Amino acid sequence: MTNRYWVASFVVFSCLVGILDASAGDADPRYRACVRTCEATGCVGQRCFPHCNFSADGAIDGPWYTQEPLYLQWKQWDCQSDCRYYCMVNREKERDALGDRPAKYHGKWPFKRVYGIQEPASVAFSALNLAMHFHGWLSFFILLYYKLPLKQNKKPYYEFSTLWHIYELLSLNSWFWSAVFHSRDVDLTEKLDYSSAVALLGYSLILAILRTLNVRDEAARVMVAAPLLAFVITHILYLNFYKLDYGWNMKVCVVMGVAQLLIWAIWAGMTRHPSRRKLWVVVFGGGLAMLLEIYDFPPYYGFLDAHSLWHATTVPLTYIWWSFIRDDAEFQTTNILKKGRP
Ligand SMILES: [Zn+2]
């Protein structure tokens, strides 16, 4: 029962965060006026942007995104992004001089760009996560195929190996798009990042159920996976082709995230698995890290915000997580071989 309250309060909290997110910065009339002027003149104060000269390329009827070649779309994106960025920087200087706290603009804190990268800290940590996943998976692969005994058909005894390989692909995909999205936030990169994250979360929930219940039968696996897969695919289609609803997506992600943490936690409490302590660390670490997403704070020195720290905490957790997966492969293989040779 307490677990249910926990999930409910998480969801309520994330809704509140979602509402507070309706960025104060870009609602500010002075910021809006600055962006409007910039998009018309191509300048913020003394600083002018070459990307904003697209009107000189010749106007074509209809909306620009259906008519103009791709490079013009890029120019328009660049122009809008430059205008927003420098208007934000100016506005934040004014606010700072008045002693005001930083405000969010278009759902994001005012970050300092480095070589055109919008959120350098988040990009760096996403890349680290990617590397950590690859390292973890590689050592898992080596253990499975080179260190542990194999069946006669050269396949591993560990029955969850393929599921973890797929998990790895989805993880690499998700961290790759996370790095891209934090480098450059446009409609496309945002959708790719969100969709990849939802796919990974949904799949790892399925994996949590299959592994903790030790579902080995193919038909039973399909039975468990099918409804969840159907939901996740529908949700991704909804986000991409109907509405990118941040509040709803946050709820879906929190529920899927909390559900798998609870499943692993309950299992860790009941099982005699030799590596259950590693699982405890990942579950508690993961839960604490989630708080960073909820108690969102502005970036220190324009770089380290709550979201980037959240990405940072998952780096060591990923290391422990893959270490648990390796232990699990070893543990199960030993068990199967013991049973096979009484
Ligand atoms: Zn992120």
Q: Ligand 1 centre from 50 Cα, in Å?
A: 30
Q: What is the rounded CA–CA span in Å between residue 67 and residue 27?
A: 30
Q: Ligand 1 centre from 311 Cα, in Å?
A: 7
Predicted confidence at residue 70, as pLDDT, reads 63
Name the pTM for this structure: 0.80
Helix 29-41 / helix 70-97 crossing angle, nearest 10 deg:
140
Reduced to 3 states, what is the DSSP secondary structure of residue 160?
coil
Q: Ligand 1 centre from 182 Cα, in Å?
A: 7
Q: Ligand 1 centre from 308 Cα, in Å?
A: 7
Q: Ligand 1 centre from 243 Cα, in Å?
A: 20
Listed residue (243, 239, 188) closest to 73, CA to CA? 188
Q: Which residues of the chain have pLDDT under 70?
A: 1-23, 54-76, 341-342
Q: Ligand 1 centre from 101 Cα, in Å?
A: 23
Predicted confidence at residue 68, as pLDDT, reads 55
Q: What is the rounded CA–CA span in Å between residue 6 and residue 13?
A: 10
114 pairs with which residues across the strands? 117
Q: Ligand 1 centre from 199 Cα, in Å?
A: 15
Q: Ligand 1 centre from 177 Cα, in Å?
A: 9
User: Which residues, other chains included, contact 123 with Cβ-Cβ below 8 Å and sequence gap of 6+?
Assistant: 117, 179, 182, 183
Q: Ligand 1 centre from 313 Cα, in Å?
A: 12
43 pairs with which residues across the strands? 48
User: Which residues, other chains included, contact 28 with Cβ-Cβ below 8 Å and sequence gap of 6+?
Assistant: 91, 103
Phi, psi dihedral angles at 35 (to 5 degrees): -65, -40
Predicted confidence at residue 11, as pLDDT, reads 46
Cα 161 to Cα 97, 137, 144, 297, 317, distances in angstroms = 57, 11, 8, 39, 20
Q: Which two tokens stand for residue 314?
A: 């998952």
Q: Ligand 1 centre from 141 Cα, in Å?
A: 27
Q: Ligand 1 centre from 303 Cα, in Å?
A: 13
Predicted confidence at residue 48, as pLDDT, reads 84
Predicted confidence at residue 311, as pLDDT, reads 93
Q: Ligand 1 centre from 47 Cα, in Å?
A: 30
Predicted confidence at residue 28, as pLDDT, reads 85
